Structure formats: C-alpha cells, structure tokens
Amino acid sequence: MRTFKMSVLPLSSQFSVKFIVPTKLTFQISETIRKNRLDNFLFEEIKAVSKMYLRELLKNDECTINNKPEQGGYHLQKGDIVEIEINLNADTAMKPEAIPIKIVFEDAEIIVIDKPSGMLVHPTLGQKSGTLLNALSYYLNHENQSEIQNPKSEIVRPGLVHRLDRQTSGLMIIAKTSRAHRVLCDHFQRKLVEKRYLATVGGIVEKDCGTINAPIGHFAEEKRWGVKADGKTAETRFRVLQRFTDKTLLELEPVTGRTNQLRIHCTSIGHPIVGDNLHGGREFSRLCLHAAKLTFWHPNGDNRLEFESDLPKEFG
C-alpha cells in the first residue's frame, strides 16, 4: 500500500492533526481561529490537491465535521473534528481555453466580468473545460502560453471571491493577485459588498416590497437544498419593479448568502423564478435570474466601485 506524508502548519498554533492515513485526513481544531471558514481552512492545509477539487468534495458532502457533512461556509469551532478523504491522483488541473468573456472592468488586481447564463464558474470532477475559470486562465496569461508549464513563469491565477449558479448570469469580481483575493474574501465575510439581482418570477407579487426570512438547509437523502426548520438563517429583501399579466419582475437583495438562496426563497413565497425547474418554476429557455449590480471597495481601499449590467432582453 502506498503511503504519503501531508505537510501541515505548525501544530502548536491553531489545530492538531489526529492521524493521517493514505487518503483520509483528520484535523482536530484545538483553538478558535480568526478566519475560520471550513473551505479556507482546507485550502491552506491541504496543498497536494487543487482548490477546485476540494470545493467539489465539499459540495458533494465528502467532508464531515463531528461526523456530520458540512459545506465550505461552515465556521470552525474549538474542538471540531474535520475529516475528509482525498485522491492524490485526481486530475484537477485547470486548462486554459480561448473562450470569449465579457469584461466590464480590469486593472492590475481585479477583473469584473459579465457571465452568461449556462456557463459553469469553475471546473468540477465531471466537467473540466468550458468554464469561466478556464476562460480567465487563458485570457490572463495569453501572452505567455508557451511558458504555462514553467513554474518560474509569472502565471496569473484567477481567484474566485464569490460564485454564480451555472444558469445565473451577471456580474462577478475575480481577484488577480493573492492579496486582492484575501482582501475581497474578507470584505465579503464582513458584508461590505452589495449585490442586487433581477428576477422574473411566476405570478403577480402583490406586496411592493418585503423581506423573506426562511432557514435553508440540505436534504442529504434527496441531495437538494431547501427551506428546512433546522437550517441556517437566511434573509432576502425584494422589491417589485414591474408587474406583467402572469409574472413579476423583482429586484432581490440577498442579506445572507446561502446555497440557492434566491431561488429557494422565491419559491417559498409561491413565486418561483421563471425557468427554475428544480424549484417549481415554469419552463423557459433559461433561468431568469441576473446579477445586475455589484458594489464593493477596491482591494487597495481608496475607491468604492459600482457596476451595473442591463436586464437580459429575454426577461421581459
């Protein structure tokens, strides 16, 4: 049986490793840590595989905290036991691909893009090409593609700060440096970033504005997310922009950032988003959900930036 050693940070600081076997890693959190999201913890401590691969494991409930599957946003506590199995031979390399992308803004540290509906944000175990990160990996390094395999090359690695569902279109910010990524992730955690979405929902929403409070959790057996009594607190604000004969155009503000929150919350009030087959929406050519406004502080701290994207014509 092949064995390996996993390099970790000094055990005297934030955690201790209980034991390591060929594919299963177990960490015991011995102290409260400041940046305590599970995904960030794994990214820092497991360098032998890619972040994309670790994200996929988290998404598929392959990581447990105290014997219970948890997602990447879980906040680690003192005494938690983290267990995860990894495959060191997993092919998770990100292949640069010349895929057209709509760039809204770019400087030395960040790039803002307008993602089309139907594009996956990052590669998964089942799909390793055609994603936004494949496109960005090519775009950000197109002048030195011949050196892409040279570890001494100054390769720009796009850093995801937030995500959009495959079917959701609209604005995303991507970090081009590790410092920008660190700062922006901190801003998202501290809720310094404002996001507004446009959604066409089924039926006529009678209230002009309101707030949806419904906890969201994961139904493991059904492998889906939905309103769940013991789920995590979730809050969405909405405002009616226009009423049509049998549908309503809403502006949505996610106060929290749970998985599929906007889609689940619209369904919970009886108005699923048009095209959302998973949550009861009527059939349509696409999901009518668009990230239309994004406001945030530039990582250098001296500019508050605001970007807007027009309503897709098919929403009307």
In this structure, how many other beta carbons lie within 10 angstroms of the beta carbon of residue 292? 22
Residue 240's nearest CA partner among 269, 264, 214 is: 269
CB 274 within 8 A of CB 286: no
Q: How many angstroms from the chain centroid is the CA of residue 211?
A: 23
Measured between alpha carbons, how far is 178 from 106 in angstroms, rounded to an integer?
Answer: 16
| Helix ranges restricted to H, the chain | 38-45, 51-59, 132-139, 178-189, 261-268
Q: Is 16 helix (H, G, I), strand (E, B) or coil?
A: strand
Question: Any idea which residue has 């009307």 for tokens?
Answer: 316
Q: 272 is written with which tokens?
A: 């699923």
Measured between alpha carbons, how far is 36 from 34 in angstroms, rounded to an integer?
Answer: 6
Q: Is the dihedral of CA 114, 211, 234, 125 positive or negative?
A: negative
* Bridge-based pairing state of the strands 235-243 and 209-213: antiparallel
Burial tier of 262 (Cβ tally within 10 Å: 0-12, 13-18, 19+): buried
Question: Any idea which residue has 């998964």 for tokens?
Answer: 124
Residue 159's nearest CA partner among 187, 179, 189, 131 is: 179
Please give the C-alpha separations between residue 68 and each of 62, 63, 65, 281, in angstroms, as whole numbers: 10, 8, 5, 31
CB 164 within 8 A of CB 290: no
Question: Catalytic positions, please?
Answer: 165
